[in-house]
Amino acid sequence: MNTMVLSHPVLSGTIVAEPENSPGRSVGIPAAAARACALDVGRTHAVVVREAASAADMEAVWRLTHDAYVEQGYCAPQPDGRLIHYPHLEGIPETTVLVAEENGEIVGTNSLTLDGPAGLHVDADFTTECDRIRVEVRAAGKTLGASWRIATKSSCRSVTAVVKSLIRETVRRFVEADVETVVFTFNPRHERIYKRLLNMSTVARHGGTVHGLNNAPAVFMRWEMATCPDQWLVTPAEFARRECARMAAANTESNLPAKKQSATMRRFPCRAADNA
């Protein structure tokens, strides 16, 4: 089997999660204000997300996935120490494999696939639900996408930073590919996390063993670009600028006399959903 991953032509690029003292972070954003906003500033240090570009990269992805899934009890240890549970999606033009590096070491991965002749990973376990969404998306003249195989090394010192960097790059690539609907599967214990982070909706559940794994129930979830929180659609620095501006405006509003404050609130109502 060809282990080189051929990316879709529009799905390209590299994202670097910059340290707090980098030029991109410091412009117009006082460090204290950024920390108060509870942003990724300073926490996503030295994490580089890029496309897997060699056989060695893919070997690292398969071994990292194997070790992560074995640790979670999702599969039995394999003799060769690798896990390739959707081989029909490997090495095709519709699939892009991302790797996250920290200090030159691959510590995380995620894969994204555009719907095509090989289908998507969810077809194996959620055939009816996926076909229904596929028909809906195609009727709108769009292509359905899928994100799968997100995993990190347990020894990684910055798991949260790595996962967030992988999510941000995944979203960026789907946006560039004009994909507005993406499907995912997760272990049920991660369902609430991804609902909160990406405003996903749950489509269906699978209580048994999903394709290629053991003891791995799954939830089938759907993401829409139209309802995705802003923090994933812009760079961390831009999101920091927006959040700090929002906080400054809120602080100014809180200092207004009660009568003026009420008038301002009527003109510019604040919706909790905007800050979800």
269 pLDDT more than 70: no
Tell me which amino acid residue 149 is. R
Q: Which residues contact 193 (CB under 8 A, 6 or more apart)?
A: none
pLDDT band at 203 (very low <50, low <70, confident <90, very high): very high
Q: What whole-number distance in Å separates Cα of residue 55 and Cα of residue 82? A: 13
Which region among 45-54, 62-71, 124-133 has the lowest average model confidence (pLDDT)? 45-54
pLDDT band at 260 (very low <50, low <70, confident <90, very high): low
Q: Which residues contact 239 (CB under 8 A, 6 or more apart)?
A: 39, 230, 231
174 or 236: which carries more pLDDT confidence?
174
65 pLDDT more than 70: yes
Average pLDDT over residues 123-139: 96
Tokens of 215: 């003891």
Instruction: Tell me what pLDDT residue 24 has.
Output: 35
Q: Which residues contact 38 (CB under 8 A, 6 or more apart)?
A: none
Average pLDDT over residues 16-44: 37
273 pLDDT more than 80: no
Instruction: Tell me what pLDDT residue 258 has.
Output: 56
The residue whose two tokens read 């009420």 is 262
Q: Helices (H), strands (E): how many in the chain?
A: 8, 8
pLDDT band at 259 (very low <50, low <70, confident <90, very high): low
214 or 222: which carries more pLDDT confidence?
222
How confident is the model over 31-44, as pLDDT tens digits?
433 333 333 433 44
Ordered by where they begin, the domains of the chain are 15-275 (3.40.630.30)
187 or 269: which carries more pLDDT confidence?
187
pLDDT band at 49 (very low <50, low <70, confident <90, very high): very high
pLDDT band at 256 (very low <50, low <70, confident <90, very high): low
Q: What is the mean pLDDT of the chain?
A: 78
CB 14 within 8 A of CB 48: yes
User: How many Cβ atoms are within 10 Å of 96's Cβ, its own excluded?
Assistant: 23
pLDDT > 70 fraction of the chain, expressed in percent and rounded: 71
Closest CA to 236 of 44, 30, 21: 44
Instruction: Tell me what pLDDT residue 274 has.
Output: 38
Q: What whole-number distance in Å separates Cα of residue 154 and Cα of residue 44? A: 17
Strands (E), the chain: 15-17, 47-51, 95-102, 105-114, 145-152, 181-186, 201-206, 218-224
Instruction: Tell me what pLDDT residue 213 has.
Output: 63
Instruction: Tell me what pLDDT residue 163 has.
Output: 93
**146 burial via Cβ count (<10 Å: 0-12, 13-18, 19+):** buried
Instruction: Tell me what pLDDT residue 117 has.
Output: 97
10 pLDDT more than 70: no
Element (H, E) at 262: helix 258-267
CB hemisphere CA count around 246 (13 angstroms): 15
Average pLDDT over residues 180-206: 93
122 or 85: which carries more pLDDT confidence?
122
